[in-house]
Amino acid sequence: MASVNNSYREFTLKNGLLVALQETSTQTVSGRLRVWHGSLNEHSGEEGLAHFLEHALMAGGSKRFSPEIADQVRGAFGSFNALTGLDKTFFPVDMLAEDAQLFLAYISDMVFNPEFDASKIEGERQRILRETADEKSSSEFKDNQELKEAFFGKNSPHAYFGLGSEAVVGSASVESLRNFHGQGYHPNNMDLILVGALPKNIDELVEQNFGSFKPGNRTKVEFPRNPPLQGAAILHTFAPELVNHDDPEQSSARLSILLVAPAQTDEDSYAVNMLVSILGGNAVSTLFTNVSQKKGLAYKLGAQYGNDNNTGTIHISGSIPSVRADEAIDAIFEEMVKLQAELVSQEILERLKRNARYSMAKVSETNAGRAYSIELMMDTGLALECLFERMEAVTPEKIMDAAVKYFPQSRADGKYVLMLRDPLKR
């Protein structure tokens, strides 16, 4: 496959800003500024300030760009957004190449010289309170939090609720937002990635717009690995909103099963990725073929492998008939046990590798995909080409080994967290 990572260059400004640039033969630029200051950097009494600050930066204007002008600038780009994560605040952009200079001027002024317009911030406060209310009003909110806490641990950073406290957001002042901003919005706590038809003087433009700001505290969070499970944890909750009122006996329950898996940098993560695809990744998976089609125990049932933030999670989820829940759960565990005892065919493995080649080729054909691959290299040291080579090296034997290591030997003796949201729970 074509090289993605080898052609980008990386350098650090004197104030500590890490910059990664890659030129492509396109008419557009994809970029992102990552500030390593997110929800997990909040102290007691600051719950929700990271997300509130993101909104305030977007809406409140800056030294050079009033709120109204800032709206016009963002509207000129193909897309521009801001997202608050557990460990970072993320500002992605896609734009015409001719707008790269404007983007650098705008984003640097927004993150380093915010004005925090009081009326705009008040409007954002109300929007955030509604967003939090919408999230907590979901019938699944409490159960999902309980599921995460059972899997990761109650005080785990992986289970932290990023939207925070309504009381904190409701009473937060401009001064408290400024204080939280000052704790982590420093150039040496950020990285800037730009991929596309970059201006010839791109290095000079980066220096002009970012080089004058002083370094400060580094607040980047290092995530712990998710802890091993000691046994099976069963969470059976009553979910009356799922009742089929026309025929209650036909009501569907929502099932989630969480298993511990390797993190992205672990050698066997590639075999697990394919293993989970075989189990429940598509319309020819064993869960779909055997549990859904042959036994009629589910319509939507699948499995995903997650490995963000130094975690490893296999998540099996779907809807199953409430009155046949035990039968459906047994059938799911039977499929996992089969994969521990039977080698997958070379035909299935080659199809998965072909899909992986497609996905990686697609990444390499877009500026946004290349920017993602640079992020991957910066965060994990893994080049996309390395992932490709390790994926190609997976064998049926390695997949079976992964099934033995990470799948339960049985429903009775396994280590997992299972939640059943049941409309007919007695």
* Tens-digit pLDDT profile for residues 55-109: 999 999 999 999 999 999 999 999 999 999 999 999 999 999 999 999 999 999 9
Question: Rounded to an integer, what distance in angstroms lies between the CA atom of residue 424 and that of residue 240?
Answer: 7
Q: What is the pLDDT of residue 4?
A: 47
CATH architecture of 232-422: 2-Layer Sandwich (3.30)
Q: Region 17-32: what's the mean pLDDT?
A: 97
pLDDT at 1 over 60: no
Q: Region 125-130: what's the mean pLDDT?
A: 98
Q: What is the pLDDT of residue 383?
A: 86
Question: Rounded to an integer, what distance in angstroms lies between the CA atom of residue 51 and that of residue 39?
Answer: 7
Domain boundaries, the chain: 9-210, 232-422
Tokens describing residue 82: 């801001």
* Tens-digit pLDDT profile for residues 282-336: 888 999 999 999 999 999 999 999 998 999 999 999 999 999 999 999 999 999 9
- Do 9-210 and 232-422 have matching folds? yes
Q: Which helix (H) or strand (E) holds 144?
A: helix 141-152
Q: What is the pLDDT of residue 232?
A: 97
Q: What is the pLDDT of residue 3?
A: 45
225, burial (CB in 10 Å: exposed 0-12, middle 13-18, buried 19+): middle
- Fold classification of 9-210 (topology level): Cytochrome Bc1 Complex; Chain A, domain 1 (3.30.830)
Reference 230, options 147, 314, 156, 153; nearest CA is 153
* Tens-digit pLDDT profile for residues 271-289: 999 999 999 998 889 999 9
Question: Rounded to an integer, what distance in angstroms lies between the CA atom of residue 318 and that of residue 329?
Answer: 11
Q: Region 109-118: what's the mean pLDDT?
A: 97
* Tens-digit pLDDT profile for residues 242-268: 999 999 999 999 999 999 999 999 999
Q: What is the pLDDT of residue 6?
A: 54
35: pLDDT confidence band, cut at 50, 70 and 90?
very high
Question: Rounded to an integer, what distance in angstroms lies between the CA atom of residue 119 and that of residue 122?
Answer: 5
Tokens describing residue 314: 């296999």
Q: Provide the b/e sequence for 344-375 (b: ≥16 CB within 10 Å).
A: beeebbeebbeebeeebeebbebbbbbbbbbb
Q: State the Cα angle at 87 between 22 and 72, rounded to 5°.
A: 60
